[in-house]
Amino acid sequence: MSRTITSPSQTDSAPAISQTGAYVTPDLPLVRIQPSTSWSKLQPGELWAYRELLYFLVWRDVKVRYKQTVFGAAWALLQPLLLMLIFTFFFSRLAGIKTDVPYPLFAYAGLLPWVFFAHAVTNSGYSLIVSTNLITKVYFPRLLIPMAAVAACLVDLAIAFVLLVVLMIYYQVGPHVELLLLPLAVALLTLVSFSVGSLLSALNVKYRDIRYVMPFLIQIWMFASPVIYPVPNRWRWLLALNPLTGIIESFRAAFLGLPTDWPTIAISAAITLVLLFVAVVTFGRMERGFADVI
């Protein structure tokens, strides 16, 4: 939405009439609220103006997630830990998958970004439906809702980092210069999670079938990503089309000192930016009718 401020002389509406029959011209400028003419319907300045609301939405999501739970924030550690133990038993002990580093460390370094992605996409995908009362009662940039859902998952990611550091100490894997790659990896992971999550959240408002498609999409995406297995050289070109491939590989390179695959990371970054563009444009075009159909 955009606002246009005009002076009384510029308006085409008739002046008001007082009780005595005289015409009264308003002293203050008139504010006209009209639909935005932007091609994406997105106003970055508007998002910045509501930054405090974003903070409160993030804080709300964090508190609600662990409210009335026994383990609380420890679930951020337990989930990737239990998955690591299961995959270590089946894929390392039984299937005999070989990796350049101890498999538990290899698996956890891949599960760390994957668990964040799965939770961020799921939470943001349902975020608009959960916030129905808020959307229908007051105006604010709706993009803040899936954005807050993704940002709240960063708290879990920070907690899960602690266990990875413990595993690195246990297996005597020290920090490497590749650790400087971590901010880029986290930024790409956050952007791709927000892109997919916001796109699904917008589609979920109009097409409620998305709630049934989302769990299958997450499961299939996991096995299409090198979370629990190393990337085969002959299939590297195909897996590189998955933006999570370069992101997961960059996490392993940052923490475990494995070779940095810059071409794959570059492809992941390019695809992530394309997804972000498509998601923001689609969300902006569908946002106008959220309050009517939600």
The model's pTM: 0.83
* Degrees to nearest 5, angle at CA 239 with 233 and 245: 105
| Rounded Cα distance, 289 and 123, in Å | 21
Contacts of 130 (CB under 8 A, 6+ apart): none
Separation of first and last alpha carbons in the chain: 19
| Rounded Cα distance, 168 and 268, in Å | 26
pLDDT of residue 28: 56
Strand ranges in the chain using DSSP code E only, listed in sequence order? 2-6, 16-17, 23-24, 30-34
Look up residue 91 and give its two tokens: 């894929």
| Rounded Cα distance, 180 and 290, in Å | 41
| Rounded Cα distance, 59 and 18, in Å | 50
Cα→Cα distances 185→57, 123, 194, Å: 25, 21, 14
Contact 127, 200 (CB under 8 A): no
Contacts of 152 (CB under 8 A, 6+ apart): 58, 61, 62, 65, 123
Contact 198, 190 (CB under 8 A): no
DSSP 82: H
Cα→Cα distances 33→1, 30, 244, Å: 7, 10, 41
Per-residue burial over 197-206, b = 16 or more CB atoms within 10 Å of its CB, e = otherwise: bbbbbbbbbe
| Rounded Cα distance, 193 and 123, in Å | 10
| Rounded Cα distance, 233 and 236, in Å | 5
Contacts of 109 (CB under 8 A, 6+ apart): 164, 248, 251, 252, 255, 256
**Other beta carbons less than 10 A from residue 24's beta carbon:** 11
pLDDT of residue 5: 46
Q: Which helix (H) or strand (E) holds 3?
A: strand 2-6
pLDDT of residue 63: 84
Q: How does pLDDT run along the chain (294 residues), one tens digit per residue? A: 555 444 444 444 455 555 555 555 555 555 555 545 554 456 677 888 888 999 999 998 888 887 767 677 788 888 999 999 999 999 888 877 888 899 999 999 999 999 999 999 999 999 999 888 888 888 888 999 999 999 999 999 999 999 999 999 999 988 888 899 999 999 999 999 999 999 999 999 988 888 889 999 999 999 999 999 988 888 888 899 999 999 999 999 999 988 888 999 999 999 999 999 999 999 988 887 776 676
Q: What is the number of residues in the chain?
A: 294
